[in-house]
Amino acid sequence: MTSKWKLSEIIILSVLAVVFAVVYLAFVQVGNVMAGMMGPIGYEWIFGIWFIVSIIAAYILRKPGAAFLSETVAGTIEVLIGNAMGPMLIVSAMIQGAGAEAVFAATRYKRWGLWVLMLAGMGSAVTSFIWGYFISGYGALDPGYVTLMFTIRLVSGALLAGLLGKWLTDGLYQTGVLNSYAIARDKKKASYGKAS
Amino acid sequence: MWLHTINPSVKMITILLTIIVLALFLDPVLYLVFWLGIITITFTLSKVSFKIWALLTAPFVFMAIGYVWTAMLFPNEALLADEQMLFEWGWLRLTEESLARSAGLGMRVIVFSALSLLFVLTTKPVLFMLSLMQQLKVPTRLAYGVMAGYQFLPLIKEEFQIMQRAQQIRGVGRPRTLKERVRQWKSFIIPLLASAIRKAERTAIAMESKGFTGEARTHWYTEIPLRKRDGLFVCLLAGLFFTAYAASAVL
């Protein structure tokens, strides 16, 4: 998957994953406090933040595999830092990344508007919820309650991953550090198109 | 001691498979027996400190309690229908089976955490990455890229502190409202990401200029071997699972 990538792209994917692995771990603490008060539904409100690196990496690099790999690497780095959830985190990360990747693949990696990014966040929400349903045994809970959890996670995925991810990346783009990546190529093409 | 020398890839896959197999059951007795076994293995076969272990387990206990009361308050009504009612008060309805399911969900969190800690506390990060390359054939470009990124962690932390102090000197107060908090968060994350990306580019150029091509390797400076004890570890966990399964069938 990475054989055609430039080394700089791979390392950028890794540093994005490092920064967001730290953010993710911070949010695990927030989630734990919320879950302590509300039970497992406490995580759902902020679940989207755990998909954000997929959106950002794919939006910058615009390559097949960017969403899946960045999330997987972020999960691996969380384990390297020493998160107590251990190897399960890598599996959940792969499943979350696959959800976003599927949405980008459906657009053939050609559309990068806000709606696509929000849909990708929701894609991660869907796959991660199916996995969570199995591994956490939601079958024992009231279906209405589980539906509520799922709805919150979908909204959270769209907003905290899709919307926030686009907002952050666009801010990052303005600093000029992304000028040699696919995002700049597409954005410049669009602005030339307008000028002529 | 012994657990620290198990091949990291073998350890990871065994633990993942165990978790997936355990998730097929929802049986508090099986989980309890398995958990006791894992604790015994952890503390007899490794030099994990009990204090650290207990500290890391504590949040999972709260999580487990959350699962237990959620499952008690919001049970799957379809399952309750033909079960023996044990306790009814207002809309809170408990049956023997629903109680077992709630306990099972909580116990599951605790068992999974014990298994994860068994991995996390006995595996060195660098050896884990090396093992991923050698046993699981993760592409070297990706794995070394991840290791390079991982080395940035202290640098990024230092930069964060510098920015924090710079903001303090210029009189940026603590955020009070949510809006201020988001704005402050953005004022940190974008410069952090920008400098991380610049560092990544420099690192990539340095790696390539020193001849790193990322070709598949046949020889390693640090070899992570596969040994008999790895097989023994798999058997140990499988044996523990069957013991727990038998115990739950008898009880």
User: How confident is the model over B54-107, as pLDDT tens digits?
Assistant: 999 998 898 899 888 888 888 887 777 777 777 777 667 778 888 888 999 999
Express each pLDDT in B126-163 by its tens digit.
999 999 999 998 998 899 989 998 989 999 899 999 99
Q: Count of domains in chain A?
A: 1
Determine the Cα–Cα distance for residues A70 and A2; give it in Å rounded to an integer: 12
Q: pLDDT at position B94, please?
A: 78
B57-76 residues touching A, CB cutoff 8 A: 57, 59-60, 62-63, 65-67, 69-71, 74-76
A75-84, B78-87, B110-119, B165-174: segment of lowest average pLDDT: B78-87
Inter-chain CB proximity A88 and B105 less than 8 Å: no
A136: chain B residues, CB-CB within 8 Å: 67, 105, 108-109
Around Cβ B184, how many Cβ atoms within 10 Å? 16
Q: Indicate whether A196 belongs to any domain.
A: no
Q: How far is A196 from chain B (nearest CA, A)?
A: 31
- The distance between the two most distant Cα atoms of chain A, rounded to a whole number of Å, is 61
In the predicted model, residues of chain A with pLDDT beneath 50 are none
Confidence check: pLDDT of B237 > 60: yes
For residue B223, pLDDT over 70 is answered with yes
Average pLDDT over chain A reads: 91
- What DSSP character marks residue A84? T
What's the confidence (pLDDT) of residue A47? Answer: 94
Closest alpha carbon to B31 in B96, B94, B112: B112
Check if the beta carbon of residue B38 is closer than 8 Å to that of residue B117. no
Please check whether residue A132 lies inside any domain of the structure. Answer: yes
Within-domain flag for A60: yes
Average pLDDT in chain B: 88
The pLDDT value given to residue A195: 58
**Which whole-number Å values give the CA distances from A57 to A37, A109, A189, in the listed order?**
33, 13, 20
Q: Are A54 and A104 in contact (CB under 8 A)?
A: no
- Asked if the structure places residue A188 within a domain, the reply is no
Mean pLDDT of B207-230: 87
The pLDDT assigned to B183 comes to 80
* B35-54 pLDDT per residue, tens: 999 999 999 998 889 999 99
Q: How far apart, in whole angstroms, are the C-alpha atoms of residue B53 and residue B42?
A: 10
- Give dist(CA B181, CA A5) in Å, integer: 37
Cα gap B198→B200, rounded to integer Å = 5
CA distance A60 to A178: 7
Both tokens assigned to A10: 């791979």
Examine residue A142 and state whether it is found in any structural domain, yes or no: yes
Q: Give yes or no for A87 touching B (CB within 8 A).
A: yes
Instruction: Look at residue A189 and tell me if it is in a domain.
Output: no
* Residue labelled with tokens 């603590």: B174
- Asked if residue A18 belongs to a domain, the reply is yes
Choose between A75 and B218: higher pLDDT.
A75
The radius of gyration of chain B's CA atoms, rounded to the nearest angstrom, is 24
The tokens of B56 are what? 């890391």
The predicted structure's pLDDT at residue A194: 66
Contacts of A73 in chain B (CB under 8 A): 142, 146, 149
Q: B100 touching A, CB under 8 A?
A: no
Is there a domain that residue A173 lies in?
yes
What's A47's domain CATH number? 1.10.1760
For residue B122 the two structure tokens come to 């006995």
Is A81's Cβ below 8 Å from some Cβ in B?
Answer: yes
Q: What is the value of pTM for the model shown?
A: 0.90
* Residue among B69, B70, B116 whose CB faces A84 most closely: B116
How does residue B173 score in pLDDT terms, banded at 50, 70 and 90? confident
Higher local confidence (pLDDT), B251 or B121:
B121
Residue A109 sits in which domain range? 7-183
